[in-house]
Chain A
Amino acid sequence: MSNVDKTIGLPMAMLAELTHRCPLQCPYCSNPLELEKADSELNTEQWIDVMRQARDMGILQIHFSGGEPALRKDLEDLVKAATDLNLYSNLITSGVNLDEGRTQNLAERGLAHVQISIQDSDEQQSNKIGGHRNGHQLKLAAAKAVRKVGLPLTINAPVHRLNIDHLESIIDLAVELDAARLEVAHVQYYGWAYHNRAALMPKRSQLEWATKVVEKAREDLHGVLVIDYVVPDYYAKKPKACMGGWARQFLNVTPSGKVLPCHAAESITDLEFDRVTEKSLLEIWEHSEAFEKYRGVDWMPEICRNCERREIDWGGCRCQAFAITGDAANMDPACEFSEHHEYLVSLAEIDSAKEEILFDYRRMGAFDKSNVKVAGHSS
């Protein structure tokens, strides 16, 4: 433990993507377009070894994520191992595979918290967005089970053009489900969401309305529901501090063991990622090319390096810089000082003005034959 290099910052949390398999097919999925297959997933012992290494280098929290982590039959064993290692564990789930018995088992093994995503407050629209016939009811049942066994609940609500007008009833639903926290997260446009952007991008007027709804709900529900709000970059003037700074606090391990500085980092196609099956987690954190490349402030363009916000937003999002400008070392175009900022705003304005209502579901291997689009009605 003593040989951890504290000068580069200690990682706080690890996102453990146990699998890319998922019962849902949300068109804004944060997984990469090329999903990893089941036969490439790390096994139980490998995950436990990764968690031990994580604990030894200062990681305090583990987020079991996916895909759908509850599709792993060894989820109970992994939660138990995290508890034994003194790691604070969080399950980020669709809720579709989480019945009361399973939830009870996980709680008994020391799971600390559950985050359940909902696609909409309207059942029909929720099932359409998630691409699951009965997903909404299963999610509601899972949320009730989580509270019944005494675990704190966060509802995660990604918002976009297909559901943004229902935001008020989504907030009501979170209160009704006895959640302590709600994340209202405007979709971030990488990977699948970037691909489906024309069907998802809200109009600026919708965003402004949603922001007012959140501000009012925060006042009305002060002390009742904590609401975290993730604003959409395309309409922002200042970039978000993505991941709290590249390779500064977080790391992400993919189902097959690739270690990424953020879950979307594979969208930067010229980066190479190391694997836990080949190197230690500490060595990767400290020396992996992908981590070192944009860590700190030295890599920044001059205008960022001289900006007073350089250690507030850490230059924003590398994935967005790459997606929009083709070079991840450029300024995040969400920043008003970026030469690409107006272009970014114009993309949002053009997309949101389209009558586009077709999107591709996130499906394993479906991306290369993406002609079949689904019609989601814009409300």
Chain B
Amino acid sequence: MSTVQPKQRLLIDDGSVPRLAEQIKLHHDKIREQWVLLAPERVLELSGPAVDILKQCDGVNSVAKIVTLMCSEYNAPKDEIQSDLLDMLQSLLDKRFIQI
């Protein structure tokens, strides 16, 4: 059974638990040697950090947890990671690639 689409814009925050939206697939394409996000009538080519972040969007990890994971993965300050990550996830949420 499906999740009804939100009737107003949802805002992501530290406590949100993101997961890929219905029928959005994270896929490694062997021919292109490239990670892609497969979505309705869209293919998004993904770069390094985006892949790592999306792999953690599993419906269990909170945004705060993903930030912590990425801080240790990329050895970068939390403030920087948190703000970039929230921007990226909000944009993916607005485009319906993820849901919370």
On A, residues with C-beta under 8 Å from B are 1, 4, 10, 12-13, 57-58, 60-61, 63, 86, 88, 90, 112-113, 115, 147-152, 154, 175, 178-181, 222-226
A interface: dominant SS: loop
> Restricting to B19-47, which residues have a CB under 8 Å from any CB of A?
21-23, 25, 27, 29-32, 36, 38, 40-41, 43
Q: Is the CB of B9 within 8 A of A222?
A: yes
CB-defined contacts of A149 to chain B, threshold 8 Å: 2
B interface: dominant SS: loop
Q: A60-B27, A63-B41, A226-B95 are in contact. Are A148 and B2 (CB under 8 A)?
A: yes
B75 at interface, CB cutoff 8 A = no
CB-defined contacts of A223 to chain B, threshold 8 Å: 6, 8-10, 93-94
Q: A1-B31, A113-B23, A150-B2 are in contact. Are A180 and B9 (CB under 8 A)?
A: no
Q: Name the distance in Å between B21's Cβ and chain A's nearest Cβ.
A: 7
Q: Is the CB of B9 within 8 A of A154?
A: no
Q: A152-B22, A223-B94 are in contact. Are A13 and B40 (CB under 8 A)?
A: no
Query: Number of B interface residues, CB 8 Å?
Result: 27
- For this complex, 11 residue pairs linking A to B, each with C-beta atoms less than 8 Å apart, are A58-B31, A113-B23, A147-B4, A148-B1, A150-B1, A152-B96, A154-B41, A180-B5, A180-B40, A222-B94, A223-B8
CB-defined contacts of A147 to chain B, threshold 8 Å: 2, 4
Q: Name the distance in Å between A63's Cβ and chain B's nearest Cβ.
A: 7
Q: Name the distance in Å between A61's Cβ and chain B's nearest Cβ.
A: 7
Q: Is the CB of A178 within 8 A of B31?
A: no
Q: Name the distance in Å between B54's Cβ and chain A's nearest Cβ.
A: 16
Q: Is the CB of A154 within 8 A of B40?
A: yes
CB-defined contacts of B9 to chain A, threshold 8 Å: 222-224
A12 to B34, CA, bound (A): 13
A90 to B43, CA, bound (A): 13
CB-defined contacts of B8 to chain A, threshold 8 Å: 223-224
On B, residues with C-beta under 8 Å from A are 1-2, 4-10, 21-23, 25, 27, 29-32, 36, 38, 40-41, 43, 93-96
Q: Name the distance in Å between B88's Cβ and chain A's nearest Cβ.
A: 15
CB-defined contacts of A179 to chain B, threshold 8 Å: 5
Would you list the 6 A-B pairs with minimal beta carbon distance, nearest first?
A223-B9, A150-B2, A113-B40, A58-B31, A88-B38, A112-B23
CB-defined contacts of B5 to chain A, threshold 8 Å: 178-180, 224-225
CB-defined contacts of B43 to chain A, threshold 8 Å: 12-13, 60-61
Q: Which of A112, A178, A181 touches B4 (beta carbons < 8 Å)?
A: A178
Q: Is the CB of A1 within 8 A of B30?
A: yes
Q: Is the CB of B96 within 8 A of A180?
A: yes
Nearest B residue (CB) for A2: B31
Other 4 A-B pairs with CB < 8 A, given A10-B31, A113-B40, A224-B8? A112-B25, A150-B22, A154-B41, A181-B96
Q: Is the CB of A61 within 8 A of B95?
A: no
Q: Is the CB of B40 within 8 A of A10?
A: no
Q: Is the CB of B96 within 8 A of A226?
A: yes
Q: Name the distance in Å between B27's Cβ and chain A's nearest Cβ.
A: 7
A74 to B43, CA, bound (A): 27
